[in-house]
Amino acid sequence: MRVFVTGGNGFIGSAVVRELVARGHTPVCLLRKTSDTKRIDALSFERAEGDVRDLASVRAGMARCDGTAHLAAPGGWHADDAAGLEDVIVNGARNVLESAAEIPGHRVLLVSSTAAINASDGPTVFDERAEFAVKDPQLHYAHAKHKAELVAREAFNRGVAVVIVNPAEVYGPGDTALGTSANLIDFAKAIPVLVCDGGTSVVHVDDVATGIVAALERGRPGERYILGGENITVRRMAELTLESTGRHVPIVPVPNGISRFVASAAIRLHVPVPFNPHVVPYATLYWFVDSSKARRELGVTFRDARATIASTIDWLRGAGMLN
């Protein structure tokens, strides 16, 4: 297939472009003039100039393609800005799906997030049938991804062959923007290591890329597929990070109320703290998921948290980011 890819130069997107090339597909990447393409420069792809927020460029780039993998989204916890996320994630999805509706038989793979599945105060495990019930209005990324899924559902009801995947928290080599691996750097350098009460599903970027392409090829339109590895607590993530780095320092739990208060104050007052304050609203909840549907229908597998974190630490060490 010729596959139109938005966000193809990003952390996950570049892994998807590699996977598409490996499977014999031709990626057509929507890129701005100023886009950093270092992650994909060595790969064989076609360039379509434009921006996901510009309907005309999306329509032009998609015109000669058989399918679309829509990944474009602001990266990093610091980018959890309501207006920016709405513009790129929600309006971008609307532009992609509106363009796809004009091409008979065109398949769209919308990359959402487990943040759009659901969260809980305790370790409840959710699957694709969960009803989104996240209340905190400050969780802008989760709400934007949920809105994009509503746009996709409307498009499916109008006849667009759209499949949704929901990657969990993605780690692995190539996270040059430190979107998630900054969490591991914090754990690897802090003394002591501070942790809150929460958890997430951890998944390797290459496993996500495999799942995305598999869903594009054979996922059922109108369906969601969770791409998640092992469910672990924040404390367990810290333990695995220390294990991978060979450090022996104390891990100190901090009550969620204090974590949230300190993080909010640090962001508002621009005060440095020994952790990323933007992560705290998410890290003080549980985002546990069940990926058995993707394993069963897409034939994908996911490595465990130890292997995923060790792979990321190896890359961070090689990149000189743990010195």
Domains observed in the chain: 2-170+202-228+288-304 (3.40.50.720)
d(CA 95, CA 52): 7
Determine the pLDDT at residue 52: 97
Nearest Cα to 214, choosing from 19, 12, 18? Answer: 19
* Residue pLDDT, tens place only, 273-308: 877 888 899 999 999 999 999 999 999 999 999 999
Nearest Cα to 196, choosing from 313, 307, 286? Answer: 286
The mean per-residue pLDDT over the stretch 240-257 comes to 97
Asked whether residue 49 carries a pLDDT value surpassing 70, the answer given is yes
Residue with structure tokens 């009460």? 197
Determine the pLDDT at residue 57: 97
pLDDT interval class at 77 (50, 70, 90): low
Determine the pLDDT at residue 275: 78
The mean per-residue pLDDT over the stretch 224-228 comes to 98
Determine the pLDDT at residue 80: 62
* Residue pLDDT, tens place only, 84-136: 899 999 999 999 999 999 999 999 999 999 999 999 999 999 999 999 999 99
Asked whether residue 72 carries a pLDDT value surpassing 80, the answer given is yes
Structure tokens at 240: 């695995």
Determine the pLDDT at residue 288: 98
Kindly report the average pLDDT of the chain as a whole number: 95
Q: Which of 38, 145, 189, 293 is catalytic?
A: 145
d(CA 106, CA 63): 10
Q: What percentage of the chain exceeds 90 in pLDDT? A: 91
192 preceded by cis ω (within 30°)? yes
pTM of the shown model: 0.95
Structure tokens at 32: 């701005």
Residue with structure tokens 């990003």? 10
Q: Is 147 a catalytic residue?
A: no
Determine the pLDDT at residue 82: 80
| Cβ(286)–Cβ(120) below 8 Å | yes
Asked whether residue 66 carries a pLDDT value surpassing 60, the answer given is yes
| Cβ(227)–Cβ(207) below 8 Å | yes
| Cβ(126)–Cβ(288) below 8 Å | yes
Quick one: how far is CA 79 from the chain centroid? Answer: 13
d(CA 316, CA 314): 6
pLDDT interval class at 267 (50, 70, 90): confident
Structure tokens at 105: 């038989």
Asked whether residue 153 carries a pLDDT value surpassing 60, the answer given is yes
Determine the pLDDT at residue 76: 63
* Residue pLDDT, tens place only, 19-44: 999 999 999 999 999 999 999 999 99
Determine the pLDDT at residue 273: 83
* Residue pLDDT, tens place only, 158-203: 999 999 999 999 999 999 999 999 999 999 999 999 999 999 999 9
